[in-house]
Structure 1
Amino acid sequence: MSETSAEDRIWTVPNLLSFLRLLGVPVFLWLVLGPKADGWAVAVLAVAGFTDWLDGKIARAFDQTSKLGRIIDPAADKLYVFATILALLIRDVIPWWLVAVILGRELFVACFIPVLRRHGYRALQVHFLGKAAMFNLMYAFPLLFLASHTGWYADLARITGWAFALWGTGLYWWAGALYVVQVRRLVTATTKE
């Protein structure tokens, strides 16, 4: 199989896992905002986090990386983050300023997409720092959900959840700054040619 056709594959295990994660987003929102089945919602987030880790491992271990995978994997991550912060905000679990900071980073980075496209680039590879930020945020949100309850675990979940949320948000912005540096280098290299 040629390298080009391998990159164009659609039916791979990692892509299937990413697609299943995408399907989990509306299920998660329904659980949180409909019946308020927080236990099941946390389980959906946990499965999403695990499959996010697993699809990357499988893609690298079995050479199943693809163009589609590089699109739907980060898309699923972002949809989970947006769905979760929306649900947490509606349920008064997190303050509006945290939502504004996370969404502000997305808007900041989105401003550079037209610059990339104008110079012939589609998107940049996901940076390790961005993955670390997503890891922190995916742990923070279920913990903050648990912190909104009154069980024995609530205080520990609150402290740990906010630690992950603040670290994740900081790393998210740092990864955004590195993204801008990458865009600048690409644009500079393109204009010198």
Structure 2
Amino acid sequence: MTRASGAAGDRPQDSASGGVGDRVLTIPNALSVIRLILVPVFLYLLLVVEQTGWSVAILMFSGFSDWADGKIARLVDNQSSPLGELLDPLVDRIYMVVVPLALAAAGVVPWWFVIVLLGRDLILATTLPLLRSRGLTALPVTYLGKGATFALMSGLPLVLLGQFDALWSRVILACGWAFLIWGMALYLWSAVLYLMQVSMVARSMPRVAATSGGRGTGG
């Protein structure tokens, strides 16, 4: 009797939370998939047929949809999902790698800019084994890091739009580089803070035994 009533009492909660856990067809997920599909389209338009205008349009749409899917997931009921929590940052990371490489290949930004940008991410990636040895997968994303990413992803399409031969284009190019320089400074500083946090984790948290996995065992 107790088991039956317990199961019945748990069922509404399971249906509510389980629905969120199993939900795939959401507006944020659809926007993330569209952004992912547009990556090869962007590369084709920029590097093969050299359609700068359409390339800029894709970057602007991707930036707007990235902002929109986050807002929708937070503010609209039944639109958040575990898949979205994985898919959205994954697509963001793909754009942060592909777009600078493509712009450097097109001669829009210098290669040293891309090397510094990606080198920063590679350095942070080397901290993953240490974090996992403490039972963590990653450290929380800071507002500084989010601001840096926003500045970079705003500056890249502006620099691309600044490639047209017109006075207005030169103004936009200057604005784009202002965003990129500021974003790069924040990006590097956020990496320094991240490494300091990793150092604190290494000193303050004990190693997790190899036989006990999971975040909770990290203390």
**What TM-score results when the alignment is normalised by the length of structure 1?**
0.89
Amino acid at match of 2:45: L
Cα distance 1:62–1:163, how it changes in 2: closer, same or farther (>3 A)? same
Q: Mean alpha-carbon deviation: is it higher for 116-125 or for 5-14?
A: 5-14
- Paired letter, 1:59: A
**What corresponds to 1:98 in structure 2?**
113
For the pair 1:61 / 2:81, whether they are aligned, the reply is no
Q: Is the 8 A contact 1:21 1:76 kept in 2?
A: yes
Residue 51 of structure 2: aligned partner: 37
Q: Which residue of 1 aligns with 2:35?
A: 21
Aligned residue number for residue 215 of structure 2: none
Q: Residues 119-134 of structure 1: matches in 2 within 5 Å?
A: 119-134=134-149
Q: Which whole-Å deviations, capped at 9, do the CAs of 1:126-180 have from their partners, x for residues lacking one?
A: 3222221111111111111122221222210121011000111111122222333
Does 2:11 match 1:6? no
Give the match's secondary structure for 1:93: coil
Distance 1:148 1:156 in 2: 11
Which amino acid is 2:163 matched to?
A: S
The answer to whether structure 1 residue 190 and structure 2 residue 208 are counterparts is: no
Q: Say if 2:66 is the partner of 1:52.
A: yes
Q: Residue 133 of structure 1 contacts residue 168 of structure 1 at CA under 8 Å; is this kept in 2?
A: yes
1:92 match: secondary structure = coil
Shift of 1:71: 2.2
In structure 2, how many angstroms separate the alpha carbons of the residues matched to 1:8 and 1:182?
Answer: 34
CA distance in 2, matches of 1:42, 1:158: 13
Indicate how the Cα distance of structure 1 residues 81 and 182 shifts in structure 2: closer, same or farther if over 3 A, else same.
same
Indicate the SS of the match to 2:119. Answer: helix
Per the alignment, residue 74 of structure 1 pairs with: 89
Instruction: Show the counterpart of 1:112.
Output: 127
Q: Does 1:145 align with 2:157?
A: no
TM-score (normalised: structure 2): 0.79
Name the % identity.
44
Can you give the 5+ residue segments of structure 1 that lack an aligned partner in the other structure?
none
Which of these two proteins has the greater Rg computed from alpha carbons?
A: 2
Distance 1:103 1:6 in 2: 35
CA contact (8 A) 1:116 1:123 kept: yes
SS at 1:11's partner residue?
A: coil
Unmatched segments (≥5 aa) in structure 2:
1-14, 208-218
Aligned partners of 1:77 and 1:134 also within 8 Å: no
Higher mean C-alpha displacement, 169-178 vs 82-91: 169-178
Equivalent position of 1:181 in the other structure: 196
1:171 and 2:186 matched: yes
Question: What is the SS of the residue equivalent to 1:114?
Answer: helix
| CA separation of 1:12 and 1:180: change in aligned 2, threshold 3 A | farther
| Comparing 75-84 and 7-16, the one that deviates more | 7-16
CA distance in 1, matches of 2:22, 2:138: 16
Matched, 1:157 2:172: yes
Q: In the comparison of the two structures, how many residue pairs are matched? A: 193
